Structure 1
Amino acid sequence: MCRFLLVRSKNKIKPEKLLDEFASMCEKSRAPDGDWQGDGYGIAWRMAGKWELKKSLTPVWDEINRFETIPKTKLFAVHARSSCFPNQKGIIEYNQPYIEDSLCFVFNGMVRGVSLSMPLDGKIGAQKIFSLLKQNIRKNSTDEALRQVDRLIVNNAKKVEGMNIGVVYDGKFYVLCEYESNKDYFGIRYYQDDDITLVCSEPIGSYQWRNMKKSEILLL
């Protein structure tokens, strides 16, 4: 299953150290079925009031020497992709984060057999969930839109082993954590102090991480 990290800092920082720690975690992490997140990655960071985006089809841990080129920023998101389907590998447009205007979106999950009546943009599940979220944001607050997405998918899927969504909007983090079991792998962690806010799929560094609860939505 994919892994992601969201970072917001009070002051501008170089992302390199946190990206290195994230890449190391991704290289070691394995899903219960042995799946890994080696199908490329994406990094988005805020610069001069807009999102800059870099994507690659190379495993994130094989490109740590490129992280030093990313400038200082107060806000960034990184996502390492794991594709379950051979015909969906090697297509860079599928790699996250997904950006639209000031909205930044990351998702990881194992969701099976979703059947929804409304038309959705996208070719893969992550793109369709992003489309569903955008439809709901037009009518609701961001946290309520996440609740609607959670409700719609849980109620219309055959199985939701894990479904986590991170949204960055107006400098805030909106995070959904949904899983059936195995919270150590399918859960989400977060850390916050006066200087930095982190949301991550697994612990990195030496931070005092807290675990999100099942079906919880956080605004950080």
Structure 2
Amino acid sequence: MRGTKFPLQGWRIVGFSALTVGTMVAIIWLFHGIDEQGMRMAIRATARTSTILFLGAFVASSLHKLWSTPLSAWLLKNRRYLGISMAVSHTYHAIALSGLWFVTAGAAPSSNPLGLFGYVLLFAMTVTSFNRPAAWLGKRGWKILHSTGMHFFWLGFLFEYSFKLPNSMLSYSPLVILLVLAMMLRLVASRKQKELVA
């Protein structure tokens, strides 16, 4: 498969993502303090890094079906590691959310049931990204779990950013556009695949 010339491959992607997002959070807290403002900034920043990593895994297969390029080949080859990197980023996000609740003495809203369900899904998807748990779950079960999880997160990100559009169009509209384009890409690739099979 083409795309091996990219320097980051496999677990290096996860390590790089963990280091980069962790450093970003540390810098935010260093310059803005470990208080409500700092926690909210870390929450927003890690939500964005999680979204970008998620989108890389979300479009990998569809993009490669439509345009076989070194970049799409790299995304397809490493989508597992992009997904795990998204889980790492969202772990930082959970830490920041917990930190917000702590620094506000519980005044900040606690996690909603859908948010908690999302973390359960993310945990299950991460665990089954490894060979032995994936084999135990089975091919059909794996496909159902990961398809459900990917669409759940896509919808969750889209809803969250769309809801915030009136407050900051400039900040959130690019993310909404990227999410919509990603779904359109998957739909076009799926339709093309069905036409080829037919």
TM bin (shorter chain)? under 0.3
Higher strand share: 1
Greater Rg by CA: 2
Name the TM-score, length of structure 1 as normaliser.
0.26
Name the TM-score, length of structure 2 as normaliser.
0.27
Higher helix share: 2
